[in-house]
């Protein structure tokens, strides 16, 4: 389509601008949502069991992201591998956002026994994958 002066640049720039605006929401949808749960069991001062479960959500989670953590990566899209590489940093992070703590101790026949269980209930996290980093945010 030509403008009145015979130039076609105006219509081309408008169509490029409209195309870019239509592309913007799809770029923002690059974020994925994952359900993450964590359980750490210490029995008599020895780590007995540690479980980290990660699965992609089947339905959209509701809530707003808060308190993000960023992991450096080299174009990796596997969240479980990324978290395994940064295990200590992730565990410190979920301790900060909140864990349920259960502690039981008993002394039977002069033998002391204790059990501590740290649990992150299944929580929905928004995960943004980029070229050099991954941003993980719980939804509240």
**DSSP letter (8 states) at residue 28:** H
pLDDT confidence of residue 6? 54
> What is each CA distance from 35 to 3, 38, 42, 104, 137, in whole angstroms?
53, 10, 24, 28, 11
Please say whether the beta carbons of 134 and 79 come within 8 A: yes
Please say whether the beta carbons of 37 and 57 come within 8 A: no
Going by pLDDT thresholds of 50, 70 and 90, the confidence category of residue 17 is very low
Residue whose entry in the numeric block shows the structure tokens 């740290």: 118
The continuous run of DSSP H or E covering 103 comes out as strand 100-108
Task: Note the pTM of the prediction, 2 decimals.
Answer: 0.68
Give yes or no for residue 100 having a pLDDT over 70: yes
- pLDDT, tens only, 102-135: 999 999 999 999 999 999 998 999 999 988 899 9
């Amino acid at each position: 389509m030509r403008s009145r002066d015979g130039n076609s640049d105006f219509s081309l720039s408008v169509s490029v601008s409209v195309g870019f605006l239509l592309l913007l929401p799809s770029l923002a949808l690059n974020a994925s949502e994952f359900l993450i749960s964590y359980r750490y069991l210490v029995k008599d001062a020895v780590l007995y069991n540690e479980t980290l479960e990660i699965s992609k959500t089947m339905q959209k989670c509701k809530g707003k992201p808060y308190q993000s953590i960023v992991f450096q990566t080299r174009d990796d899209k596997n969240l479980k591998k990324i978290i395994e590489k940064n295990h200590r940093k992730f565990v410190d992070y979920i301790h900060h956002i909140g864990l349920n703590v259960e502690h039981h101790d008993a002394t039977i026949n002069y033998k002391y026994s204790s059990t501590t269980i740290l649990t992150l209930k299944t929580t929905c996290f928004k995960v943004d994958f980029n070229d050099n980093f991954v941003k993980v945010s719980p939804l509240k």
